[in-house]
Structure 1
Amino acid sequence: MEKFKQIKMLISQIEVDADKFYNRGNSAAGTRLRKGMLALKVLANQQRKEVTAIKHNK
């Protein structure tokens, strides 16, 4: 469940950069958004592996 909390926190953090990039045209925010999305991808993949491991151990 800890990874899921990290994913939620990361999404809320990059939401600010998404707003700055899409609504205000801030290109530096776009870079931060891309970096955050990559970190989100890594966390989501780790979460998937954890869920699969727990599911197979039951």
Structure 2
Amino acid sequence: MEKLAELKALVEAAEKEGQAFYEKNNNAAGTRFRNALQQIKALATELRKDVTDKKNAGK
């Protein structure tokens, strides 16, 4: 559940940066937004692997 909380925090941070990029035309926020999205992708992939491993361990 710790990783899920981390994922939620990353999504919240990405949302703030996305708003700054799209609404305020802040190019630096766009870079931070892309970075946050990449971190979300990596953590989601890691979570998927953990779920699969745990599911298959029961078999």
The CA RMSD over aligned residues, in Å, is 0.7
Where does structure 1 lack aligned partners over 5 or more consecutive residues?
Answer: none
Structure 2 unaligned regions, length at least 5: none
The letter of the residue matching 1:52 is: T
TM-score by length of 2: 0.92
Counterpart of 2:37 in structure 1: which amino acid? M
Large movers: runs of 4+ above 3 Å: none
TM-score when normalising by structure 1: 0.94
Count of aligned residue pairs for this structure pair: 58
1:6 corresponding residue in structure 2: 6
Residue of structure 1 in register with 2:29 after alignment: 29
User: 1:11-55 CA distances to partner (integer Å, 9 max, x unpaired)?
Assistant: 011111000001110000000000111111110000000000110
